Structure 1
Amino acid sequence: MNLAWKEMKKSKTKFIILGSIVFLISLLTFIISGLANGLSQDNAALIKNLPDGEIYMEPEAKETHALSAIDGDSQEQVLSQTDGAFAFSIQMGFLLNEQDEQQSVAFVTSTDSAEFPEVSKGEIILDSSLEDEGIQQGDRFTNSQFSGEFTVAGFTGGAKYSHAPVAFIHPENYAEMHRTEQMQMLFVPESAEPVAIAGLQSFSNEAFLNTLPSYNAEQLSLSMIVWFLVIISGMLFAIFFYMMNIQKLGLYGILKAIGVKTSALFRMIWTQMFVITAIALALSIAISQLFHSLAPGGMPFYLPVGITFQLSAVFFAIGFAGATLSGIQIHKVKPLQAIQQGEGSA
């Protein structure tokens, strides 16, 4: 430990440069991760907020929920035999206000469910993001496919789908708009007793999200960037400590000759890595949270504590691996040879 601190004090500039690079990479990683999670919530909060369970669709729909139609007999059987199960449909559309201004929404309807709000005929419940845009309870909207008017009955949080606010409507109003009384999907919570549903294809919540082309492509791209940055940070540790170790082979030879164990030299490298990473991550986390509070309201940014700790653990793990790989030469070095090499370079 003393060796690690003494070297860091002696070579402040080198360690500050490394720490600055790790700080910038980790900050960029946290921000991109926050954007990825924010876009994920903005794209599919409606599904992500459901409890763990199975979503069933018609196999002929080929994993496209808009083409799925659940048979009425199968739906009735599942709903009557399974606690917490419900059928629901999602369809993209729009609402027109009294000034004929158009608002894109995702129309959602369902059978009786504790997960979705109950809506009366002619009423509509909107995602709370629309309340922030000035829409108020009691406002009226129309739709070209609906003969009547929708009255805003209230708002609910966390209801986004395909980057559009959700509009919950009554099943009969949905049937009039889309000319079908069949629901697209069945949801069976994990807490319910397993039930065999013949002729339907099942998906876990996460597997269902991966059937959405926009969600899958968006998250895959951002996840690749995050992991690429993490790998770069590990390579930086390996390269930095490798170059420093090459310069100090003579010193390591002397230390080994006077009885310092190889394990002590490794602990020195690990201590330095831990201190640099801890300081860099602390600053990155603080600034990323500040970024969250200062980011524009329309920017989807969501960085929960769990994700922050996971990324921090990954940074420590890959930093440890990089520093350890760079120290393999310390294990191999022979005292006399290293001293001679150090004298020759001098």
Structure 2
Amino acid sequence: MFLALNEIKHSKLRYTLVIGVMFLIAYLVFFLSGLAYGLAQENRMAVDKWEADYLLLSEKANDTLNMSMIDPEVVNQVEAKEKALLVQAPAIIYQSKDEDTKENVSFFGIDAEGFIAPNIVEGKLFSKKGEVVADISLKESGGYSLGDQIKISMNDEEMTIVGFTENAKYSVSPVIYTSLETIQQVRYGEIAERQDLRVNAIVVRGEITEKPNGLSKIAIGDFINKLPGYSAQVLTFGFMIGFLVVIAAVVIGIFIYVLTMQKTAIFGVMKAQGISSAYIARSVIAQTFFLATVGVLTGLVLTVLSGLVLPEAVPFQSNVLFFTGISVLMIVIAIVGALFSVRTIVKIDPLKAIG
């Protein structure tokens, strides 16, 4: 280790460039990972908050929530530990005082007493017709606040924000929770009272002991994977990040190999003085470990700091376990890449190297 660090001190510019390349690649990998994780979470956060085990959807819906229609009377035929009705309706909303600013949202019609009711971080839970609870992102980036009157663009129905919750997004859109009665207004407007209630799903926590015909049971994990675009997005970013990690390892391995070849004469002199190949090899591995660790950690720190100053609209989220795993993987693969240099060191003939 002494030899490795001493050489770095002697050739600061050369090794600073190596660290710089590793830092840039690590920063890119971490930043893309944060974006990928944040975007994936914004697809599923509202579903994860249920802490449920299964969804019951109509068999003809192809496991798609907004295509499912279930008669509420069927709910009484379902026997499970806990169950809750869910009505989902996409919509575009705007503030009554500002019709030019519109937001794409997803309404969740629920029973306020059910286990899928949202936690309240500001205000209160809806208690009567026309009241809604919105995701906090509508306040932070959309300019909405408690008491604001919002309208549904397709039918101009007016509602009041009485509370805010957090981590409530579905398919990247902010979720607005409301009662089963109010969700009818969202769907049908003025003719809501003449329409029969149709729920999209029955959310179940625990095992289902009795399921009526016409309903299909889907595990929450499977339902999330079938969200439109979710699996494709996760696979795309996964392959991209994986290739970047491999590229980083190859780059650092090439740098170390080139530096090793440039020092062939020096290693030959060291061998002639009785220094073993194993000692020199350990020095190269230690040097690679130091360079990779400094570059990766610097990239990680800058990524975390970048996440603190990004706009709310950017779906960036840090995950400690995720980042730790990527850091260890990049360092380990970089060391594996440096092992090719060890083979060159072992084959060095002192007499030929000295000339």
C-alpha distance in structure 1 between counterparts of 2:180 and 2:137, whole Å = 23
> What runs of 5+ residues in structure 1 fail to find an aligned partner?
none
**TM-score of the aligned structures, taking structure 2 as reference length:** 0.82
Aligned-pair CA distance for 1:339: 2.3
Partner of 1:38: 38
Structure 2 residue 81 is the aligned partner of structure 1 residue 82:
yes
* 1:176-199 Cα shifts (integer Å, max 9, x gaps): 54355332233334xx34646464
Larger strand share, 1 or 2:
2
Partner letter of residue 91 of structure 2?
A: G
* 1:291-337 Cα shifts (integer Å, max 9, x gaps): 12222233222113333222211221221221224423334x1x5xx
* 1:71-96 Cα shifts (integer Å, max 9, x gaps): 54653344x5313x323232211234
Partner letter of residue 116 of structure 1?
A: A
Structure 2 residue 160 is the aligned partner of structure 1 residue 151:
yes
Aligned-pair CA distance for 1:170: 0.8
Aligned-pair CA distance for 1:273: 1.6
Structure 2 residue 161 is the aligned partner of structure 1 residue 160:
no
C-alpha distance in structure 1 between counterparts of 2:93 and 2:285, whole Å = 59
Residues matched between the structures, number: 335
Partner of 1:25: 25
Equivalent residues of 1:97, 1:142 under 8 A apart: yes
CA change 1:233–1:107 in 2 (3 A) is: same
CA change 1:49–1:307 in 2 (3 A) is: farther
CA change 1:266–1:69 in 2 (3 A) is: farther
* 1:76-118 Cα shifts (integer Å, max 9, x gaps): 344x5313x3232322112343347243211112244333235
C-alpha distance in structure 2 between counterparts of 1:22 and 1:180, whole Å = 61
> What runs of 5+ residues in structure 2 fail to find an aligned partner?
119-124, 188-194
CA change 1:20–1:96 in 2 (3 A) is: closer
Aligned-pair CA distance for 1:261: 4.1
1:121-270 maps to which residues of 2 (within 5 A)? 121-132=129-140, 133-143=142-152, 149-178=158-187, 181-189=197-205, 192-193=206-207, 195=209, 197=211, 199-205=215-221, 207-256=222-271, 259-270=274-285
CA change 1:195–1:271 in 2 (3 A) is: farther
Q: Identity, % of aligned pairs?
A: 27
Equivalent residues of 1:72, 1:182 under 8 A apart: yes
Equivalent residues of 1:248, 1:342 under 8 A apart: no
**TM-score of the aligned structures, taking structure 1 as reference length:** 0.84
C-alpha distance in structure 2 between counterparts of 1:97 and 1:61, whole Å = 33
Give the SS at the match of 1:208: helix
Aligned-pair CA distance for 1:260: 3.9
Give the SS at the match of 1:298: coil
CA RMSD of aligned residues (A): 2.9
